[in-house]
């Protein structure tokens, strides 16, 4: 016997190796296949019965944050709102800061009626710092929440004079030390006046539309801003904010959005659309 070659032994089960193969229809000794007319082969029957062999490729799960979708949104916004900027009239960082504080819970149109009068009456930040909040209240009454806004404007003026030499700082952390200034106001001043894109302005329009477009599921401004900063490229933060705010004023209005006129319609699945050519997503709520 050649060294290393072990003769085949009978299986302990009593069945000889290969007996199973021989029992399959159409299979001959040695593994070759016989084509039989009419009867399907074992392999053919197996492939018919097995769902795995006829699996269709799974369609990709919908991802509202996919870079291609974000790009499409940005391109549509660029084409629709190419040159938009802040609608609050101002001639300096200080005037913009005051106008933004006054714009909370008010319209830009309303604020723009008030600010020329107060800036004529109190031309410098030092003039505001010398007031008491009560003195300013009657001048800004029509913007709503005038007591709190008065305290914020006078408090901010005093801090700008005492801590920053009368100049509005161009730094997020410093701006946040001013009374009545949160990230939204700071982002408006930094982006619009200083051209510094440090974050995304999240006002009522940006909150509503970001949720309708499924760019966030959060409801509070700081978290929405973080979500947007993850998907919108930094160089687009300033313009994106302005474009969405304009979109919110013109078409994507709160109560009854004008979806039939909206250029974003075919990629928007908002639950409260007034007209739709695409699936509605029940979680895409304002």
Catalytic residue numbers, as ranges: 184, 203
Structure tokens at 150: 């008065």
CB of 273 to ligand SF4, least distance (A): 5
| Residue with smaller CB distance to ligand SF4, 169 or 248 | 248
Angle among Cα 278, 282, 284 to the nearest 5 degrees reads: 80
CB of 176 to ligand SF4, least distance (A): 31
Q: How many CB atoms lie within 10 A of CB 4?
A: 5
Cα separation, 247 vs 264, in Å, equals 10
Contact 246, 260 (CB under 8 A): no
Which residues have a Cβ under 8 Å from the Cβ of 92 and sit 6 or more positions away? 168, 193
CB of 109 to ligand SF4, least distance (A): 21
The site for ligand SF4 (CB under 6 A) is made up of 212, 251-252, 257-259, 262, 264-265, 268, 270, 273
| Residue with smaller CB distance to ligand SF4, 73 or 131 | 73
Cα separation, 239 vs 252, in Å, equals 17
Structure tokens at 196: 């510094």
| Residue with smaller CB distance to ligand SF4, 149 or 273 | 273
| Residue with smaller CB distance to ligand SF4, 90 or 211 | 211
CB of 260 to ligand SF4, least distance (A): 8
């Amino acid at each position: 016997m050649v060294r290393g070659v072990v003769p085949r032994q009978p299986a302990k089960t009593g069945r000889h190796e290969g007996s199973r193969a021989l029992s399959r229809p159409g299979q001959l000794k040695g593994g070759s296949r016989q084509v039989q007319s009419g009867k399907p082969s074992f392999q053919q029957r197996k492939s018919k019965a097995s769902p795995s062999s006829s699996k269709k490729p799974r369609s990709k799960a919908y991802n509202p944050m996919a870079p291609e979708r974000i790009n499409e949104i940005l391109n549509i916004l660029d084409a629709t709102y190419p040159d938009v900027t802040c609608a609050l009239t101002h001639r300096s960082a200080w005037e913009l800061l005051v106008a933004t504080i006054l714009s909370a819970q008010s319209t830009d149109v309303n604020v723009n009626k008030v600010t020329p009068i107060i800036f004529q009456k109190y031309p410098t930040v030092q003039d505001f710092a010398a007031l008491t909040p009560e003195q300013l209240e009657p001048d800004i009454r029509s913007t709503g929440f005038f007591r709190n806004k008065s305290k914020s404007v006078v408090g901010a003026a005093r801090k700008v004079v005492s801590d920053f030499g009368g100049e509005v700082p161009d730094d997020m952390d410093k701006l946040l030390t001013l009374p009545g200034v949160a990230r939204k106001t700071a982002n408006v001043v930094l982006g619009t006046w200083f051209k510094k894109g440090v974050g995304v302005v999240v006002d009522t329009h940006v909150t509503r539309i970001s949720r309708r477009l499924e760019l966030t599921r959060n409801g509070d401004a700081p978290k929405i801003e973080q979500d947007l900063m993850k998907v919108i490229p930094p160089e687009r933060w300033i313009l994106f904010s302005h474009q969405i705010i304009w979109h919110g004023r013109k078409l994507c209005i709160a109560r009854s959005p004008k979806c039939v006129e909206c250029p974003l319609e075919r990629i928007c699945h908002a639950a409260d659309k007034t007209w739709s050519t695409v699936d509605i997503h029940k979680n895409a709520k304002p």
